[in-house]
C-alpha cells in the first residue's frame, strides 16, 4: 500500500491546451529537454527543415504542420513521473481533445503573449472547466514584443471568468525581459545571455529583491517599476489559495518563452509542486474510485490504428485510475463481460516504444488491441467489475457518403472504415434497404474528412469517392413502437440511417427541418447523443 501511495504521489498527468501556433510543441519539447528525455531541442529552423517535433506521429501531421492525434509522453524530473497528454490544437479534432482531457488531472493553458486568449484557447478552457480540471497558465513568447502582463491577466479574468495569480512576474522592458520575480518564493531569477537559441538549458542566478547586487544590475526605472508592479499585485490581486486552484477558480500564471527557455524551468518546478497527483474517478453508478484502491482499474480514452506503418497494429490507450498494472495481467472487460489478457503494454516517446512492466494510477499505457476495445471501455480487476462514467460524444455536424473508387478494394475500404470508426475518428451510418455500396460518415470538423481520405488511401490502399451531404444535424430516435420508426414521417426533410449499433438516427439539413420532423412524429423522441438512449 505504501509503495502504491508513493507511486501515486509522484505522478503528474496533464494536458497542454492552446490555440494552434501558441507554442505547444515547442514547450513540450522544452519540458522533455529539462526532464533529460531529449538532449538537444530541435531549434525552430532545424525543426522546419530537418525534423519534426517528437510528439508528431502521423505523416499527415508532418505535411500539414498540425498535431492531429493526441500523443502521450512520459519522463521523470526531480523525483516526479510526468505524463504529458498532447492534444490536437485544431478545433476540428475537439472530440479527441475532450476525451484526452478526461484522462488528465490538470491542464496547462498556453497563451501567446502577443495574442492573448484566442478562440480555441477559450473553447478548450471551457472544456477543462466542465471537467473540473485545475488549469495553470503559461504566457509564452516573452522574448518578443507582447501585450502588457496586467492586460493579459485582466483578459483571462474577464474572458474565462477565472481569477489569475501571477506566480512569476517578468522584469524589464517588453520584448527584452531580463528575468522574473517569483512571488511565492520572493526571489528574483535572472537569466544569462544565451547563444544556443534555446537548444540547451538556460542558465540563471537567483537572489532576493533587496540584494544590493541585484539593484546594481538594473537601471533605476526597471527596479522601481518592478517594485511598483509587485506592490500593486499584492494589494489589488488575489491571494494565492490552493483550494481555489484545485476547484478551478484560480489559475496560477507564469510568464516565459518556450523558445529561449526563459522561465521554463521555474514553471516546471512550481507546476509539479502545485498540480494535483492522480485524482479519484467517477463511476457510472455515481460512486468514485480512489487511486489508492489496491484493485486495478482503467478506462480507454483513445484508440489508434497504424501508428507505426511497419507494425500495422491497433493500440488502445488507457488511463490507469487505481491499483497496479503488471505486464501480462488479465483483467475484466466490462463491455464484453470477459476476462482479457492485456498484451504488449507500451509507453511512448513518439515512435519509440518501451514495454511496461509496471504502471500506476495516472499513467497512460497503450495495449495491443485485437479489435475488441471501444473508446470509453472500462477494465478492472475481476472483483471490481466496474464501469466508469461515459466519455462525452459530440454529435456530428458534417456528413458525407463514401464508397471505394475501385470496387476491387472493397475489403480494404470496409476494414478502414470499421477501424477508423472504432478509433472514434468518424461516426459511421448505414441506410437500410439500399445496396451496401456506400456508407454515410459523420464528423465534427471538416478536416476529419480529409484525414479519413488520406488514411484510407495510405493505410488501407483504398481511394475514396466522397460526396458531401446537405445535413448538419443528427438525432438518435426512439419510440416504444417500432412501426412508428419504420414509418417515420417527413423524410423529404431528412434521412433515416442506422449507427454501428443499429440504432436509428435521423439526419436533418437544419433546425427548421428538424422541427418539421419533430412536429410530424409526436410519438418519437429525438435525442442528441446515443448515450441518451440508455437513459430512457
Ligand atoms: P503549436 O504546437 O502550439 O502549434 O506551436 P509550435 O510550438 O509549433 O510553435 C509555433 C511557432 O511559434 C513556431 O515558429 C515556434 O518556433 C514559435 N514559438 C514557440 N515558442 C516561442 C517563443 O517562446 N518565442 C517565439 N518568439 N516564438 C516561439 P515557426 O516554426 O517558425 O513557425 P512559423 O512561425 O513559421 O509558423
> Atom 17, ligand 1: which residue's CA is nearest?
23
Choice from 61, 73, 259, 260 to test ligand 1 binding pocket (greatest atom count within 8 A of CB): 259
H or E element in which residue 154 lies: helix 149-160
Name the band, by pLDDT with cuts 50, 70 and 90, for residue 524. very high
Residue 25 Cβ inside 6 Å of ligand 1? The answer reads yes
Cα 220 to ligand 1 centre (Å): 34
Dmax over CA atoms of the chain, in Å, equals: 86
CB count within 10 Å of CB 224 equals 11
What is the C-alpha to C-alpha distance for residues 454 and 68, in angstroms, rounded to an integer? 13
What is the C-alpha to C-alpha distance for residues 251 and 222, in angstroms, rounded to an integer? 27
List the 163-166 sheet strands across, edge first: 72-77, 80-86, 11-18, 106-112, 135-140, 250-255, 163-166
Q: Which residues pair with 423 in a beta bridge?
A: none
- Which of 58-72, 209-223, 228-242, 429-443 shows the lowest per-residue confidence on average (mean pLDDT)? 58-72
Cα 394 to ligand 1 centre (Å): 30
Cα atoms in the Cβ-side hemisphere of radius 13 Å centred on 489: 10
Choice from 31, 33, 44, 86 to test ligand 1 binding pocket (greatest atom count within 8 A of CB): 44
Name the band, by pLDDT with cuts 50, 70 and 90, for residue 48. very low
Cα angle for residues 514, 515, 521 (degrees, 5° grid): 90
What is the C-alpha to C-alpha distance for residues 391 and 400, in angstroms, rounded to an integer? 25
Residue 24 Cβ inside 6 Å of ligand 1? The answer reads yes
Distances (CA, A) of 270 to 33, 182, 276, 277: 17, 10, 12, 14
- Rounded to the nearest 10 degrees, the angle between the axes of helix 94-102 and helix 119-130 is 40
For residues 135 and 162, the answer to whether their CB atoms sit within 8 Å is yes
**Mean of the per-residue pLDDT values for the chain?**
85
Q: Which atom of ligand 1 is nearest to the CA of 256?
A: 23
Please provide the DSSP assignment of 21-87 as one string. TSSHHHHHHHHHHHTTSSSSPPPHHHHHHT---TT--SHHHHHHTS--S--EEEEEETTEEEEEEE-
**Better pLDDT: 20 or 467:** 467
Residue 20 Cβ inside 6 Å of ligand 1? The answer reads yes
Q: Which atom of ligand 1 is nearest to the CA of 19?
A: 3
H or E element in which residue 191 lies: strand 187-191
Region of 515 (left: φ > 0; alpha: ψ -120 to 50; beta: rest) is alpha
pLDDT score of 348: 65
Cα 26 to ligand 1 centre (Å): 7
Cα 27 to ligand 1 centre (Å): 9
> Which of the listed ranges 285-299, 359-373, 419-433, 449-463 does the model predict with the highest average pLDDT?
285-299
For residues 488 and 521, the answer to whether their CB atoms sit within 8 Å is yes
Tell whether the torsion through CA atoms of 359, 362, 363 and 364 is positive or negative.
positive
Three-state DSSP class for 157?
helix
Cα 259 to ligand 1 centre (Å): 8
- Which of 54-68, 82-96, 228-242, 393-407 shows the lowest per-residue confidence on average (mean pLDDT)? 54-68
Res 167 pLDDT > 60:
yes
pLDDT score of 46: 40
pLDDT single digits (tens) 28-41: 888 888 887 666 55
Residue 48 Cβ inside 6 Å of ligand 1? The answer reads yes
pLDDT score of 194: 66
Name the band, by pLDDT with cuts 50, 70 and 90, for residue 66. very low
List the 297-305 sheet strands across, edge first: 338-341, 330-333, 378-380, 297-305, 314-322, 364-368, 346-349, 352-355
pLDDT single digits (tens) 125-153: 888 888 889 999 999 999 999 999 999 99
What is the C-alpha to C-alpha distance for residues 193 and 90, in angstroms, rounded to an integer? 35
Name the band, by pLDDT with cuts 50, 70 and 90, for residue 358. very high
What is the C-alpha to C-alpha distance for residues 127 and 523, in angstroms, rounded to an integer? 34
> Atom 33, ligand 1: which residue's CA is nearest?
21
> Atom 30, ligand 1: which residue's CA is nearest?
44
pLDDT score of 536: 62
**Better pLDDT: 464 or 75:** 464
H or E element in which residue 17 lies: strand 11-18
Amino acid at each position: 500500500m505504501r509503495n502504491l501511495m508513493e507511486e501515486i504521489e509522484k505522478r503528474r498527468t496533464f494536458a497542454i491546451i492552446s490555440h494552434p501556433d501558441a507554442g505547444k510543441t515547442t514547450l513540450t519539447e522544452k519540458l522533455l529537454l529539462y526532464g533529460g528525455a531529449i538532449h538537444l531541442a530541435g531549434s525552430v529552423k532545424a525543426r522546419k527543415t530537418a525534423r519534426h517535433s517528437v510528439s508528431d506521429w502521423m505523416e499527415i501531421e508532418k505535411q500539414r504542420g498540425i498535431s492531429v492525434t493526441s500523443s502521450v509522453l512520459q519522463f521523470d524530473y526531480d523525483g516526479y513521473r510526468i505524463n504529458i497528454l498532447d492534444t490536437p490544437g485544431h478545433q476540428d479534432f475537439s472530440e479527441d481533445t475532450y476525451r484526452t482531457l478526461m484522462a488528465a488531472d490538470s491542464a496547462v493553458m498556453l497563451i501567446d503573449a502577443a495574442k492573448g486568449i484566442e478562440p480555441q484557447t477559450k473553447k478548450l478552457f471551457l472544456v477543462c472547466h466542465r471537467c473540473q480540471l485545475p488549469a495553470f497558465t503559461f504566457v509564452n513568447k516573452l522574448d518578443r514584443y507582447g501585450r502588457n502582463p496586467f492586460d493579459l491577466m485582466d483578459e483571462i479574468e474577464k474572458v474565462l471568468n477565472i481569477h489569475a495569480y501571477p506566480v512569476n512576474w517578468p522584469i524589464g522592458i517588453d520584448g527584452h525581459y531580463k528575468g522574473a520575480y517569483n512571488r511565492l518564493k520572493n526571489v528574483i531569477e535572472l537569466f544569462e545571455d544565451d547563444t544556443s537559441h534555446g537548444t540547451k538549458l538556460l542558465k540563471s542566478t537567483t537572489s532576493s529583491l533587496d540584494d544590493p547586487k541585484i539593484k546594481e544590475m538594473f537601471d533605476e526605472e526597471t527596479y522601481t517599476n518592478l517594485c511598483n508592479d509587485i506592490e500593486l499585485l499584492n494589494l489589488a490581486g488575489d491571494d494565492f489559495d490552493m483550494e481555489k486552484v484545485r476547484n478551478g477558480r484560480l489559475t496560477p500564471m507564469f510568464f516565459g518563452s518556450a523558445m529561449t527557455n526563459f522561465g521554463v524551468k521555474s514553471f516546471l518546478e512550481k507546476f509539479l509542486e502545485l498540480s494535483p497527483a492522480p485524482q479519484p474517478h467517477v463511476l457510472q453508478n455515481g460512486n468514485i474510485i480512489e487511486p489508492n484502491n489496491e484493485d486495478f482499474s482503467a478506462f480507454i480514452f483513445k484508440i489508434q490504428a497504424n501508428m507505426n506503418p511497419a507494425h500495422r497494429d491497433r493500440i488502445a490507450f488507457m488511463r490507469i485510475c487505481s491499483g497496479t498494472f503488471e505486464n501480462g495481467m488479465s483483467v475484466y472487460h466490462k463491455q464484453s463481460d470477459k476476462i482479457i489478457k492485456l498484451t504488449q503494454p507500451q509507453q511512448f516517446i513518439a515512435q519509440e516504444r518501451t514495454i511496461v512492466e509496471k504502471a500506476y494510477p495516472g499513467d497512460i499505457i497503450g495495449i495491443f488491441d485485437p479489435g475488441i476495445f471501444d473508446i470509453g471501455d472500462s477494465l478492472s480487476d475481476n472483483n471490481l467489475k466496474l464501469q466508469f462514467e461515459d466519455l462525452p460524444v459530440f454529435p456530428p455536424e458534417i456528413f458525407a457518403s463514401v464508397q471505394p473508387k475501385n470496387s476491387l478494394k472493397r475489403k480494404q475500404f470496409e476494414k478502414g472504415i470499421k477501424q477508423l470508426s472504432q478509433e472514434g475518428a468518424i461516426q459511421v451510418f448505414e441506410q437500410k434497404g439500399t445496396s451496401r455500396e456506400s456508407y454515410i460518415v459523420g464528423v465534427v470538423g471538416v478536416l476529419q474528412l480529409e484525414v479519413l481520405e488520406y488514411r484510407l488511401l495510405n493505410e488501407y490502399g483504398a481511394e475514396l469517392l466522397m460526396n458531401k451531404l446537405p445535413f448538419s444535424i443528427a438525432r438518435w430516435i426512439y419510440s416504444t413502437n417500432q412501426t412508428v420508426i419504420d414509418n417515420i414521417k417527413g423524410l423529404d426533410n431528412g434521412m433515416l440511417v442506422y449507427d454501428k449499433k443499429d440504432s436509428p438516427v435521423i439526419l436533418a439539413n437544419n433546425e427548421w427541418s428538424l422541427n418539421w420532423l419533430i412536429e410530424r412524429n409526436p410519438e418519437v423522441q429525438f435525442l442528441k447523443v446515443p448515450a441518451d438512449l440508455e437513459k430512457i
